[in-house]
């Protein structure tokens, strides 16, 4: 790519964003053109500034990172999104990639890994954290994964919210869906996961590291 790589930085912690901004702008070819602290604002800023790369956290207030990825990709299928998250479980990686992200690294990565990932994504390549890529490959070879891997991106997003204790009405409001739609998703999710209640869903999510206890 010619010129500076324009980056939209999405994280809900201002201090964290400031640190990443300093790190990235120490690279001669990266410029932070906008920041956002929620999924909704990330989508809004994406439309406004047309960045070359979006660095997206997953744990965001409001619609959350995966839904933000879905909405950005729905508007621009060529959007280049790099997930930079504390979540190291492969189910989050697979769901983020299914939603349209082109890369995934964890916040435990060395600083130079983030810079390299941004350059790779901007160049049209994909970039996965090496350890995560190995775990995904190993699980696929063995034919093993978590029950949550079988969920669609939308189902996974709603399953996470249900496991966190949100009601159907609260999820409908957050995701701008009808109550009936969310209720139907809830039924499908429980059927796929083999659980009969929100409490069982929460226990399963905790067991597989999808939500914290």
Higher local confidence (pLDDT), 51 or 149 = 51
- φ, ψ of residue 30 in degrees (nearest 5): -125, 135
Q: How many CB atoms lie within 10 A of CB 192?
A: 15
Class of domain 5-140: alpha beta
Structural domain spans, the chain: 5-140, 147-207
Percentage of the chain exceeding pLDDT 70 = 95
pLDDT of 27 higher than 50? yes
Minimal CA–CA distance to 53: which of 105, 108, 15?
105
pLDDT at 144: 62
pLDDT of 1 higher than 60? no
Minimal CA–CA distance to 210: which of 168, 167, 150?
150
Q: Note the pLDDT tens digit of each residue in 133-154.
A: 777 777 666 666 678 888 888 8
Q: Note the pLDDT tens digit of each residue in 60-109.
A: 988 889 999 999 999 999 999 999 999 888 889 889 999 999 999 999 88
Both structure tokens of 80:
């280049």
pLDDT of 38 higher than 90? yes
Percentage of the chain exceeding pLDDT 90 = 69
CATH level 2 (architecture), domain 147-207: Orthogonal Bundle (1.10)
Please check whether the two domains, 5-140 and 147-207, share a CATH topology.
no
CA distances from 190 to 22, 52, 109, 169 (A): 44, 38, 34, 17
pTM of the model: 0.84
Q: What is the DSSP string of 85-135?
A: ES--SHHHHHHHHHHT-SEEEETTS-HHHHHHHHHHHHTT--EE-HHHHHH
pLDDT at 145: 66
Tell me how far apart the alpha carbons of residues 25 and 102 are, in angstroms, rounded to a whole number. 21
Q: Note the pLDDT tens digit of each residue in 159-192.
A: 999 999 999 999 999 888 999 999 999 999 999 9
Label residue 2 by pLDDT band (50, 70, 90): low
């Amino acid at each position: 790519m010619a010129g500076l790589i324009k980056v939209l930085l999405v994280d809900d912690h201002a201090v964290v964003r400031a640190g990443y901004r300093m790190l990235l702008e120490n690279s001669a070819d990266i410029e932070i053109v906008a920041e956002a602290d929620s999924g909704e604002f990330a989508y809004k800023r994406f439309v406004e500034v047309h960045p070359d790369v979006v660095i997206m956290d997953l744990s965001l207030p409001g619609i959350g990172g995966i839904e933000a990825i879905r909405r950005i990709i729905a508007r621009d299928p060529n959007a280049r999104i790099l997930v930079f998250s504390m979540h190291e479980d492969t189910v989050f990686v697979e769901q983020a990639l299914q939603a349209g992200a082109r890369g995934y690294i964890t916040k435990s990565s060395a600083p130079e890994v983030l810079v390299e990932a941004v350059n790779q994504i901007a160049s049209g390549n994909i970039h996965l954290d090496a350890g995560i890529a190995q775990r995904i490959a190993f699980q696929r070879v063995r034919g093993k994964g978590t029950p949550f891997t079988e969920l669609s991106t939308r189902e996974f997003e709603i399953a996470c919210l249900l496991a966190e204790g949100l009601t159907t009405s609260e999820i409908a409001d957050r995701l701008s869906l009808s109550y009936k739609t969310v209720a139907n998703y809830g039924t499908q999710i429980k059927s796929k996961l083999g659980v009969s209640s929100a409490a069982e869903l929460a226990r399963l999510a905790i067991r597989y590291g999808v939500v914290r206890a």
